[in-house]
A and B are shown apart, each in its own frame.
Chain A
Amino acid sequence: MKRKKRLHIAALYTILVSVALIMIFPFVWSVTASLKTRSQIYSGNPLDLIPDPATLNNYRKALSVLPFHRFLLNSLVLATTVPVISITLASMAAYSFARLQFKGRDLIFMLLLGVMMLPGHVTLIPRYALVRKLGWINRYTALIIPPIFSASLVFNIFFMRQHFLSIPRELEEAALIDGCSRWGVWRNIIMPNSKPAIATIAIIGFKTEWNSFLWPNVVINDFLKMPIQVGLTYLQTNVQSSWDILMAATTLSIIPLIVIFVCFQRYFMAGILTSGLGGR
C-alpha cells in the first residue's frame, strides 16, 4: 500500500514537472536566445539552449535601434495611471451604490453591469472616430482616457461595491455622527479598509494595460509615445532587427510583468478568482 502511494506520488510529480517544462519553455528559450550570437541562432541546433558564446550585444542593439526605454516608460505610465484613475472613480461610484440611497440606483447599476457583457471591439471604431474628433490622435490623452472608461471600470465598480458591503456599517456611522462628511468617510474610513481589494484590482489593471495592444496601436503613431507592445511590433519590422535583437526586446518586455507577478502572486490569484464573473 505504501509503495503504491509512493509510486502514485512519483507519477504525479512526473506529470507536474513535464507540464511545467512546457509552460516555462518559451520563456527560457526567449531568454537564452537573446543571449546568443546571430550565427548561433541561424546556424546552430535549435535544441541547444546554452548560448555559446553568451553576449549582451543584442540588448545593446535592441535599446539603440528604437527608443526602447521610452516604450518601457510609456507602458509604465499607462499601466499605472489607468488603474489608479479607474480604481478611484470606481470606488467613488461603488460607495454610492453600496451605501447611498438615490432614485434609479438599481436601474443604473443594472445598466452598468450590461457594459461587462459588451465585447470591446464593437466600440473600437466609434471610439477611434470620437478621439479623432477631439483631436487626441497621437496624444497621451488618447492612450489613457478611453481605456479608463471600459468594461474594466464597471468590473471595478462591481468588485468594490461587493467589498464595501462587507465592511461593517458601524465603522462609518460613528464618524457621520461626529460630523464627518460622506467624502470624509469614503476617504478616511472606507478606502483605508479596502487595501487588499484595491491591490487586487490594481494588479489586474496593471497587467491589462501593460499588455494592451490594439487600442494604442490604432491611436499612437509617434515612437516616443508608444507603449511597449506596439513598439515591439515596430521593432519586428525594422530593417536592422533580426531575431537575436527581437528576442532581447521580447525578454525585456516580459520581465517587468513576471517580476511583479512573483512579488504580488497572491493578488493575481485573488484577482482571477473574483473576476470569474468579470468577463475579461
Chain B
Amino acid sequence: MRPSIRRTLLLVVIFTLAMSMCVALEAAAKKTKVQVISWWDFTTSQPLIQLKTEFEKLNPDLELEYLQIGSKYADKMLVMIAGGADLPDAMMIAMDKIPIFANKGAIMNIDRYVKEDYKDEMAQVYPVVSDALTYNGEFYAMPRDITSKVMFFNRTLFEKAGVAIPDADWTWDDFKAIAKKMTKDLDGDGHADQWGFYFRKYMDAFTDFLMQNNGGLCTVEGKSLLGMPESIEAVKFLQEMCVVDKSVPTETQAMQFGRPQSAPFVAGRVAMLMGGLSTTVELQNADIDYVIRPLPKGKSRVNVAFVNAWAIPAGAKNPDLSWRALKFFASKEAQQIVLNTGMGLPSRKDVDTAGFLKARPDHKYFIEALDYSKPFPSPVYGVDFFALVEKEFDLMWLGERSVDDAIAAVEKEAADVLAGKF
C-alpha cells in the first residue's frame, strides 16, 4: 500500500474516533431530561424555545429536550412506538391521528390524569377541544393549540396588480374572480408564473370548502360524505379553479418554490393562501407584507378547526413525568406563550388576547373564526380513507379525470376502508 493511502486511512480513523468521542460527551446528562418530540424545528421555532424556558423555570428539577421528525411524522412515530426503544416522554400529535393511535394502543389513555389533576382547569377550555381530544369518551391528549383558518393576501402583489383586497364578507364568487385576476404570465412565455391561490391537495387543505357548501368529507363515525351533491359541487368548484381558470398552480409548479404549502406564497408567486396563526410567523420571518381576511363565505360560514395536541407515547418510561410536561403545555402560562408567539390560537378562555388584537387589527378574524369552527373529522381509519381520496383525486386535480369519476371511485371503496376492512 502506498504511504499516501495509509495516511488517508489513518486520517479517516482519527476522524472517526474524534467523532465517537463527541457523541459520548454529548450523552453525559445533567438534570432529569424530559424528551419531547415534534415535527417542528426546535432550533428556530420561537414557541418551542419559549415553552422550554418557561417549563424549566416552573420545574427547576427538569430539563426539556426537543427532538424532531421532519417529515412523515405520524408514520415514523407509530413505527417508533412499535419499535419500543428510546421513546420520548411526550409527543406532539395531529388531531386526526389521535383516534388511530388510541385505537392501536400507541398513545396512553390519560383520562385518569385529566380527571384528577386538570379537573378545575377544564372549565376554562373551549368545548371543541375536549371533543377533539377524546376517543370513546376518554382523554388521550392535551391541547397544543387551536388552528382556525383565515385567508392571507400578499399586499405587494395586489397593489402591483391594482386589485383591491376584498372585505370580510366576500363570497366564493369573489374569491374565484380575484384568483383569476391575480394569475399572470409575467415573462410572456404563454405559461402562468404567478397564481391567484394555492392549496396543497391534502384533505385538511380543502375540507373547509366541502363543509362551507353544506357537504363534507366524512363523519367521525366513519361514513363518507363525499358522495353528497353538495360535496361534489364544492370539489368541482375547486377543480375548475385548478384546471379551467388555472389560477391554482399544480403540485409540480408549486414545488419549484419548495415543499411547504406556504413556499409559493412566500416566494411571491401566489397571491392568496389559507393558513392558521402559525403561518403568520412564517410570513413575518420571510418579511412578507400580508393582509388577513376570513375565508370566503359559501352557503354557510364554516371553518374547519384543527386541534393539535400533546400525548404520551405508549411505553414511555415514566408516565408521571410525561404528564407533568403535558399538564404544563395545557396550562394558562403555556397557552399564553402559544398565542404570543403565533404558534396557534389558545385552547383556554382565560388567556389574555388584548395584546394579540392590538398588534394587528385584522387578528380579530382569527378570534372570530373560533365561533364558527367545526372540528376536522377524524374517524379511526381516517388515514386509510384520506390515502384513498388522495390517490383517486390525484389525476382529477390535473384535469385528467372528471370529478364525478374520481368521487365515484372513492365511494366504491369508502365504506370498506372506513370500516378498517383490508
Contacts and interface: CB of A to CB of B under 8 A. Distances in A.
Q: Do A and B come from one complex?
A: yes
Contacts of A80: 12-13, 16
Nearest to B45: A239
Interface stretch (B156-164, B253-261, B400-408, B414-422): B253-261
Interface stretch (B69-77, B287-295, B331-339, B351-359): B69-77
Contacts of B398: none
Interface stretch (B78-86, B96-104, B364-372): B78-86
Interface in A218-234: 218, 221-224, 233-234
Contacts of A238: 41, 70, 259-260
A118 B82 CA distance: 28
B69 A241 contact: no
A73 B260 CA distance: 28
A138 B256 CA distance: 32
Contacts of B86: 137-139
B256 A42 contact: yes
Given A65-B41, A237-B70, A239-B282, A137 B83 contact: yes
Size bin of chain A's contact surface: 35 or more
A233 B12 contact: no
Contacts of A264: 5
A236 B257 CA distance: 11
A195 B2 CA distance: 10
Contacts of B8: 263
B85 A136 contact: yes
Contact of B83 (A66, A132, A233): A132
Contact of B70 (A76, A234, A243): A234
Contacts of B79: 218
B71 A237 contact: yes
A239 B84 contact: no
Interface residues of B, number: 37
Interface in A70-115: 73, 76-77, 80-81
Contact of B12 (A76, A135, A136, A239): A76
Contact of B85 (A81, A139, A237): A139
Contacts of A123: none
Interface centre among B1, B22, B84, B259 (most CB of A within 10 A): B259
Interface in A227-280: 233-243, 263-264
Interface in B1-17: 1, 5, 8, 12-13, 15-16
Nearest to B70: A234
Contacts of B244: none
Given A65-B41, A239-B41, A195 B85 contact: no
Contacts of B41: 65-66, 238-240
A199 interface: yes
Contact of A199 (B1, B26, B262): B1
Interface string A182-193: 000000000000
B78 to A, nearest CB: 11
B19 interface: yes
A77 B83 contact: no
Contacts of B168: none
Contact of B20 (A77, A234, A235, A263): A77
Contacts of B84: 132, 135, 137
Nearest to A84: B13
Interface string B259-271: 1101100010100
Contacts of B71: 233-234, 236-237
Contact of A195 (B1, B80, B269): B1
Nearest to B281: A239
A122 to B, nearest CB: 19
Contacts of A195: 1
B308 to A, nearest CB: 16
A233 B70 CA distance: 9
Contacts of A81: 16
| 3 A-B pairs with least C-beta separation | A137-B83, A237-B71, A242-B258
28 contacts: A42-B257, A42-B269, A65-B44, A73-B22, A76-B19, A77-B16, A77-B19, A80-B16, A132-B82, A135-B84, A135-B85, A136-B85, A137-B80, A138-B80, A195-B1, A199-B5, A221-B69, A223-B68, A224-B26, A233-B71, A236-B71, A237-B70, A237-B259, A238-B41, A238-B70, A239-B41, A241-B258, A243-B256
Given A42-B269, A239-B41, A243-B258, 12 more contacts: A42-B256, A42-B267, A77-B19, A137-B83, A138-B86, A139-B85, A199-B5, A221-B76, A237-B259, A239-B260, A240-B41, A263-B8
